[in-house]
Amino acid sequence: MLHLKPIIYEMNYEKEIIDQDIIKEEDKKYILSYPTVYIVKDADKQLNYSVYVGETSDIKRRTIEHISVDSKERTDWRELADSKTSEMYIIGHEHFNKSMTLDIENKMMQYMASVDVVKKVNNRRTNQQNLYYSHDEMEKIFSKIWRKLRKFDKRLFPLERTIRDSALFKASPFHKLTDEQLDAKDRIMATIEANLTSKTNKGQLIVVEGDAGSGKTVLMSSLFYELNQLAKDESENPILRNTSQFLLVNHDQQLKVYEEIAQKLEIFKLGKQETVLKPTRFINRYSEDNPVDVVIVDEAHLLLTQGKQSYTGQNQLNDLLKRARVVVAVFDKKQILSREQYWEPDQLDSLLADVEKQGNLISLKNQLRINAGRETIAWIRSLIDEQTVKPLPQNDEKNYEIKLFDSPAVLQKAIEDKARDENFGISRLLATFDWKYINGKKDGDHPWYVKIGDWQMPWNLQLPVDKVQKKQNKKLAWAEQPQTIGEVGSTFTIQGFDLNYAGVIIGPSVKYRNGRIVFDKAASENNKAKQRRSLKDGSKVDVSEEMLRNELNVLLSRGVNGLYLYAVDDELRAALKKGAVLNDRK
């Protein structure tokens, strides 16, 4: 059993300080002779931090190098060296070895980039390690280090749960990738490099497909960060040095998160232009005559496939392919939510067939969000894909919790209880878009409500907040904003994110008739799902069933540790309860 404690010293950031006799005799071996991890920090007048995380086998030599050499070559190191207030933490441990300190350095970078008061993380590399002796101790040792660092500075080192719940953490480029993600990343990097060295001018498409929760966002974040590091002037990669790369997402909440990550890691600007933006803005800004090198599109299923007010083209993916040498698109057709994003089946099949023929179709199969056993995941998928209610699995092997409720009020209280307990983290109510809502307008003098009988609760993005919280909310995803525990979220605010416990109100557009789940567009308020779609031959088609099924898919795949359900339709509610009772009788 691991019982050793980390050794941490806080010092002024000076090359001479390591020589001073402030290190206890029994600690000197672990600080001066063992590999160590260190954090250099400096705070501005607003108490916002600039930090650097490093690891070294010789902390004395490395500190001298940073102050004497790096400060002459890099602005960030010069600022830290010149500051009179910069400090450093040196972290040692009896079980540290080179691989572990590299792993802890990487995880520390991930945490630091997720802390609200950290405005800049100066690191320029990632150091994910494979298996090594004592790797199974790393997580426990890291948590002990973090808890001890909190004793020095609780603002810089908040509770681990707070960090792990943040959208910044969940989309961090410093996550340790799975073997499947690493293989996908290697394939993508190889294809990008091959195309940038070829005579092909533009239009090479790589598609990454996978269900909700398969790790697509983390993969794209990691890819974007690495491409940016390899594009720097001092890069040793001659192919990617001085290349241009952009990250696009057609989702306001996701855009917030990517912008914040890019700003903290100083990859938000290429010259004077942003590197993280929405597709329409990119298309309007860049011409076909001078294509950029790489465009990464997260949530590419949200790209428009027809024109609208701000977008005068016909297909955003096609327009991006004309403006970039390589486009990496993350795509899940089960998350298309609007007729404006709808692909005609033959067009989509043809596109994916061409991509696969070129070896550029990458599939992620693992489920990384829903922490549930196979039977539970299969039960959720059967509701969505097969539109059937099967017996509800009991005693999930990973303790994933599915609960059925007879009342929205009781569901609300259950989610509020989970959200109140910091051991469970962020939990929120969600609903299918079956109650009227107009963004930017009120329902008379009142907000737009989700109403069921005598119970009601405001739709998302409506509760008032004070000026301080309003400013903070500008960089927080909807679910992270504290007032949203009093709102009901929709696909428009929760798509691309996860919750520890998701409380889903399945509205009247989802019914149960003759032994099957059916979708009733007349009961939906989602006009973009209900309205008919014009096809290339001029005909119009009703795509509402597919759009409403996809809406249900997005909502039911948000919960990491639990899914709480209330169905408005009496027959669906009865079928869900019957499935639970049937399983109890097995």
pLDDT tens by residue, 136-145? 899 999 999 9
Q: Is residue 325 part of a domain?
A: yes
- Mean pLDDT value across the chain: 92
Shared domain for 148 and 204, answered yes or no, is no
pLDDT band of 2, cuts 50, 70, 90: very low
Contact indicator for 264, 257 with CB cutoff of 8 Å: no
Q: What is the Cα–Cα distance from 79 to 73, expressed in whole angstroms?
A: 11
Shared domain for 239 and 347, answered yes or no, is yes
Final residue in a domain of this structure, among 364, 386, 404: 364
Shared domain for 69 and 188, answered yes or no, is no
Average pLDDT rounded to a whole number, residues 7-22: 78
Percent of the chain at pLDDT exceeding 90: 78
Average pLDDT rounded to a whole number, residues 372-396: 96
The single residue listed with the structure tokens 């002990």 is 144
Gap between the terminal Cα atoms of the chain: 40
The pLDDT value recorded for residue 19 is 56
Q: What is the Cα–Cα distance from 240 to 231, expressed in whole angstroms?
A: 5
The model's pTM is: 0.90
Shared domain for 29 and 122, answered yes or no, is yes
Shared domain for 359 and 385, answered yes or no, is no
Shared domain for 189 and 281, answered yes or no, is yes
Going by C-alpha positions, the residue among 563, 561, 565 that lies closest to residue 577 is 565
Q: What is the Cα–Cα distance from 239 to 236, expressed in whole angstroms?
A: 9
Shared domain for 333 and 383, answered yes or no, is no
The pLDDT value recorded for residue 583 is 54
Shared domain for 86 and 32, answered yes or no, is yes
pLDDT band of 3, cuts 50, 70, 90: very low
Q: What is the Cα–Cα distance from 45 to 29, expressed in whole angstroms?
A: 37
Shared domain for 354 and 420, answered yes or no, is no
Shared domain for 206 and 143, answered yes or no, is no
**Owning domain of residue 231:** 179-364
Contact indicator for 586, 525 with CB cutoff of 8 Å: no
Q: Is residue 445 part of a domain?
A: yes
Shared domain for 150 and 59, answered yes or no, is yes
Q: Is residue 171 part of a domain?
A: no
pLDDT band of 29, cuts 50, 70, 90: very high
Final residue in a domain of this structure, among 305, 329, 364: 364
Q: What is the Cα–Cα distance from 543 to 551, expressed in whole angstroms?
A: 12
Whether residue 15 is predicted with pLDDT greater than 80 in this model: the reply is no
Whether residue 572 is predicted with pLDDT greater than 60 in this model: the reply is yes
Query: Where do the DSSP E strands lie in 180-252?
Result: 204-210, 245-249
Q: Is residue 482 part of a domain?
A: yes
Whether residue 428 is predicted with pLDDT greater than 50 in this model: the reply is yes
Whether residue 1 is predicted with pLDDT greater than 50 in this model: the reply is no
Helix (H/G/I), strand (E/B), else coil: 429: strand
